C-alpha cells in the first residue's frame, strides 16, 4: 500500500514511524531536514527566521511562530512536555477522551522520573524529564507556596495542580522533540522529501489518489492509496482549500491559549541566566472549578527579546480553557487569514483578569523578599484590568482545532465525504485542552497511525 503523508511535524512523523514497516510511505515536508546529528540551533536556540511559516494574527498583529522544518513546531518551540488534565478531554467525545489518549501518551514517552507509574511510559522515543531549578525558580516556587499553592512534583500526574518543575522533552538542555527523537527512526524506513510543498491533493470523485508536489526538481505528481494531511492548525486548512475543498468547518474552530507577560526586574541578572528557560511551573484553578485552569511560568525576557534588559524577568500567565474561537479564512493568495480571537468573550476576559490578579500575588511575594522589583507603572496595577488585557494579550503559540473532529473529519480522522484522505495533526482536536499541544499531537500521530492500520488492515 502506498501512503503519502503531507507534513513532517509531530503528527506526521509519529504516524510515519508507526506505519513505515507496514506500507510504502512517502513523507513530504515543506521545510528542510536539518539532518542527523541535529544542528546546534535546533537544539538550543530560540530564533528561527529560516524555518518559520511567517504567519500573523490579524487581530493583534502578533507574529505566530510555526516551524517550517522537519519536526514542525517541536523543532522551534520551548519543548514543554505537559499533557493537561483528564477533564480537559471530556469535550472530545467518543474515542478521544483521556482513557483513549493515554495509550498514545504512554507509547511515545520515556519519563525519566516517573516512567514506572501506570499513567506514564518508559520505552517511547520522547524523553520527558523535569528541569533543574535555578535561583529564581526556587524563589518563584516559594512565593507560590506563600500565596497558597501546593507543591507538585509531577505536573503530568492526572488531577494534580500546584507549583513544581516543568515536565519537558529536553535532553542535556536541548530539545528532544520529533526532529531529534523520531526522525532518526524514520529516515531509513520511508521516502523523505524535504523542501517540497504539497500543492494539492488529487481526487477522483470522492477518493484521494495522490498529491501534486513542488520541490527542487519542479512540479510532479505522486500516486497514493491513502493521503494523510499533517500540516498543522494553520497549514492544513490551506492545503484543503488548494485541493478544492469547501467544507464550511475548515478553519472555523480555531483555538489558542491567550497569554500575557508581566515583566519585572531581577535583583541579580546572574540569577536569571542561571536558568533562562523556566524550570518552574504553576498550575491552578481560576476560581472554584479546578478544571478551569490557568498556568504561570517565569523566564528570561532577554532570551526571546534581545532589546530587553538582561535582568528583565517575565512572569507569564495563560488561560488554559478559553471559550473563544478564532478562525482561519482563505485569502486570495491561498494563504490563511488568521484571527485568534483572544479574550473576545467576556467570560475569557474576566477569567483572565482573575488569573492575572492571582499571579500578581506571587510576584508581590517575590518583591517582598527583595528578589524582584515591580515597575511603578506595572500595567496590571489597575482597577480596570479587562481593557488592558485585551490591549496586551499575546499567543502561547498553541493553535489547534481548525479542522476538528465532527466538523471537518469524522472520528476515524477521514475528511468528511471522502475516501482515502485523513488528517492527523493538531487541527483535528475538537477543542483546546489545558496544556500545550506538543505531546498530545505526538500521541494523536501515534494513535492516528493505529487507526490507519485498523482501517486498512495493514
Question: From first to last of its 458 residues, what are the pLDDT tens digits of the chain?
Answer: 999 999 999 999 999 999 999 999 999 999 999 999 999 999 988 778 899 999 999 999 999 999 999 999 999 998 999 999 999 999 999 999 999 999 999 999 999 999 999 999 999 999 999 988 999 999 999 999 999 999 999 999 999 999 999 999 988 889 999 999 999 999 999 999 999 999 999 999 999 999 999 999 999 999 999 999 999 999 999 999 999 999 999 999 999 999 999 999 999 989 988 887 778 999 999 987 888 999 999 999 988 888 999 999 999 999 999 999 999 999 988 899 999 999 999 999 999 999 999 999 999 999 999 999 999 999 999 989 999 999 999 999 999 999 999 999 999 999 999 999 999 999 999 999 999 999 999 999 999 999 999 999 99
Which grid coordinates are listed for 381? 496595577
- In angstroms, the CA 94 to CA 25 distance is 29
Q: Where are the beta strands (DSSP E) in 275-343?
A: 280-285, 293-300, 312-319, 327-330, 336-339
- Sorted by where each starts, the structural domains of the chain and their CATH numbers stand as 2-50+66-82+92-98+101-126+175-252+399-456 (3.50.50.60), 132-165+258-319+343-392 (3.30.410.40)
Which grid coordinates are listed for 443? 500521541
E strand or H helix at 131: none
- In angstroms, the CA 403 to CA 431 distance is 10
Q: What helix, strand, coil percent values describe the chain, rounded to 5? A: 30, 25, 45
Report strand pairing: 162-165 vs 226-229.
unpaired
C-beta neighbour count of 331 within 10 angstroms: 12
Angle value at C-alpha 219, between 208 and 234, nearest 5 degrees: 60
C-beta neighbour count of 197 within 10 angstroms: 19
Query: Do residues 421 and 229 make contact, with C-beta atoms less than 8 angstroms apart?
Result: yes
3-class SS of residue 411: coil
Rounded to a whole number of angstroms, the distance between the first and last alpha carbons of the chain is 8
Amino acid at each position: 500500500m502506498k501512503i503519502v503523508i503531507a507534513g513532517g511535524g509531530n503528527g506526521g512523523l509519529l504516524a510515519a514511524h508507526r506505519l513505515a514497516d507496514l506500507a510504502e510511505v512517502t513523507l513530504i515536508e515543506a521545510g528542510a531536514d536539518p539532518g542527523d546529528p541535529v544542528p546546534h540551533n535546533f537544539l538550543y536556540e530560540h530564533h528561527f527566521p529560516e524555518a518559520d511559516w511567517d504567519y500573523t494574527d490579524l487581530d493583534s498583529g502578533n507574529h505566530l511562530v510555526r516551524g517550517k522544518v522537519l519536526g514542525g513546531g517541536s523543532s522551534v518551540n520551548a519543548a514543554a512536555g505537559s499533557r493537561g488534565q483528564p477533564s480537559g478531554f471530556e469535550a472530545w467525545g467518543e474515542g478521544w477522551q483521556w482513557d483513549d489518549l493515554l495509550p498514545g501518551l504512554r507509547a511515545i514517552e520515556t519519563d525519566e522520573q516517573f516512567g514506572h507509574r501506570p499513567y506514564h511510559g518508559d520505552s517511547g522515543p520522547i524523553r520527558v524529564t523535569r528541569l533543574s531549578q535555578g535561583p529564581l525558580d526556587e524563589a518563584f516556587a516559594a512565593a507560590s507556596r506563600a500565596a497558597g499553592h501546593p507543591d507538585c512534583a509531577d505536573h503530568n500526574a492526572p488531577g494534580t495542580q500546584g507549583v513544581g518543575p516543568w515536565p519537558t522533552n529536553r535532553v542535556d538542555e536541548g530539545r528532544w522533540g520529533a526532529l531529534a527523537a523520531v526522525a532518526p527512526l524514520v529516515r531509513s524506513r520511508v521516502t523523505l522529501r524535504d523542501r517540497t510543498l504539497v500543492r494539492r491533493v488529487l481526487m477522483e470523485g470522492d477518493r484521494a489518489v495522490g498529491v501534486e508536489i513542488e520541490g527542487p526538481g519542479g512540479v510532479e505528481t505522486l500516486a497514493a492509496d491513502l493521503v494523510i494531511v499533517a500540516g498543522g492548525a494553520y497549514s492544513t486548512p490551506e492545503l484543503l482549500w488548494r485541493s478544492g475543498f469547501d467544507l464550511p468547518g475548515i478553519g472555523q474552530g480555531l483555538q489558542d491559549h491567550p497569554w500575557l507577560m508581566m515583566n519585572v526586574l531581577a535583583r541579580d541578572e546572574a540569577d536569571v541566566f542561571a536558568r533562562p528557560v523556566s524550570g518552574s511551573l504553576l498550575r491552578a484553578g481560576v476560581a472554584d472549578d479546578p478544571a478551569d485552569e490557568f498556568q504561570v511560568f517565569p523566564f528570561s525576557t532577554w532570551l526571546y527579546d534581545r532589546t530587553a534588559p538582561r535582568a528583565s524577568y517575565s512572569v507569564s500567565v495563560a488561560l488554559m480553557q478559553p471559550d473563544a474561537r478564532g478562525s482561519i479564512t482563505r485569502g486570495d493568495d491561498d494563504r490563511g487569514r488568521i484571527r485568534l480571537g483572544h479574550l473576545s468573550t467576556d467570560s475569557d476576559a474576566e477569567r483572565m483578569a482573575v488569573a492575572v490578579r492571582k499571579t500578581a500575588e506571587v510576584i508581590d511575594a517575590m518583591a517582598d523578599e527583595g528578589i524582584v522589583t515591580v515597575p511603578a507603572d506595572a500595567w496590571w496595577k489597575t482597577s480596570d484590568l479587562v481593557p488592558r488585557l485585551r490591549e496586551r494579550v499575546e499567543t502561547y503559540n498553541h493553535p489547534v482545532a481548525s479542522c476538528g473532529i465532527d466538523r471537518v473529519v469524522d472520528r476515524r480522522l477521514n475528511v468528511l465525504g471522502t475516501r482515502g484522505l485523513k488528517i492527523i495533526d493538531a487541527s483535528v482536536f475538537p477543542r483546546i485542552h489545558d496544556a500545550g499541544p506538543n505531546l498530545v499531537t505526538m500521541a494523536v500521530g501515534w494513535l492516528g497511525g493505529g487507526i490507519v492500520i485498523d482501517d486498512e488492515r495493514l
